[in-house]
Amino acid sequence: MMAFGDTTQPLPPTVVRALVEAANRLGDRQTYTGYEDITGNPALRSAVCADYYQKKMDIDPSEVFISDGAQSVSVNIQELFAPDNTVAVQNPTYPSFVEGTLVAGRPLVNLPCREDNNFVPKLPDEKVDLIYLCFPNNPTGAVATPEQLQAFVDYARSHQAVIIFDAVYSAFITTPNIPQSIYEIEGAKECAIEIGSFSKSANFTGLRVGWCVIPQGLTIKNTVPGEVKYPNLLR
């Protein structure tokens, strides 16, 4: 099935050795640690910042949350938002974005990706609350220019919408002027959540390790940083 990407090569030997060492530490009373930090291993969060976001994007480890793969967080994160929020999704796209929206009962707006728009959709014609963007896109492989991403960020900021940006395939972008992260775009830290994964770049599909970035600058209307109003955060 298109849009479900799996790997065919084994884990790198260095990763296997690290996994064995970690398991051995848990099997020793002197080095056993119990539950991990609720937001994920601090060293891993710092490494994600250093390797994927570097200094130019200024992402802090406190803004990174480790998950059991990108799929779960990309769907479950909808539960932070009001049930009547309208969700815009690229078409075609990763099926879980559509399935998660339909199961949750939220209104769905398709953003067509066709040859005549180079498989990069235009902005929504109507007001939406959540926008799923996946670049490089799964399954088309299309990438977005800085100008195209800036247009979506500007839309989100002016319409009080939140972008859920799937950057799982970002490691395959090698062209210097094509953004690997939404946070390379001005204003994105105020309106975008980014999702990443080791599945595609490091053959981690069998281990399910991913993350999401929620910047401190992303705040919901009528709240202050750090405030949580569950279950209807966004209206």
Longest dimension (CA), the chain: 62
Q: Determine the pLDDT at residue 227.
A: 62
Question: Which domains are present in the chain?
Answer: 39-213 (3.40.640.10)
- Contacts for 135 with CB less than 8 Å, ≥ 6 apart: 142, 143, 144, 149, 165, 166, 167, 169, 179
Beta bridge partners of residue 130, listed in sequence order: 87, 162
What are the pLDDT digits (tens) for 199-208? Answer: 777 767 777 8
Mean residue pLDDT across the chain: 88
Q: Which residues of 223-234 are buried (b: 16+ CB within 10 A; e: fewer)?
A: eeeeeeeeeebb
pTM recorded for the entire structure = 0.88
The pLDDT of residue 149 is: 98
Q: Is 195 exposed, middle or buried (0-12, 13-18, 19+ CB in 10 A)?
A: buried
Beta partners for residue 67, in sequence order: 210
Q: Which of 98 and 207 is assigned the larger pLDDT?
A: 98
pLDDT of 175-194, one tens digit each? 999 999 999 999 999 999 99
> What pLDDT was estimated at residue 3?
53
Q: Which two tokens stand for residue 170?
A: 């970002």
Nearest to 153 by CA among 182, 115, 181: 182
Contact assessment for residue 195 and residue 70, using Cβ atoms and an 8 Å cutoff = yes
- pLDDT, tens digit (0-9, with 9 covering 90-100), for 33-87: 888 889 999 999 999 999 889 867 889 999 999 988 888 888 888 888 888 999 9
Judged against a pLDDT cut of 50, whether residue 115 lies above it is answered with yes
Amino acid 235: pLDDT: 45
- Sign of the Cα pseudo-torsion (84, 85, 86, 91, in order): negative
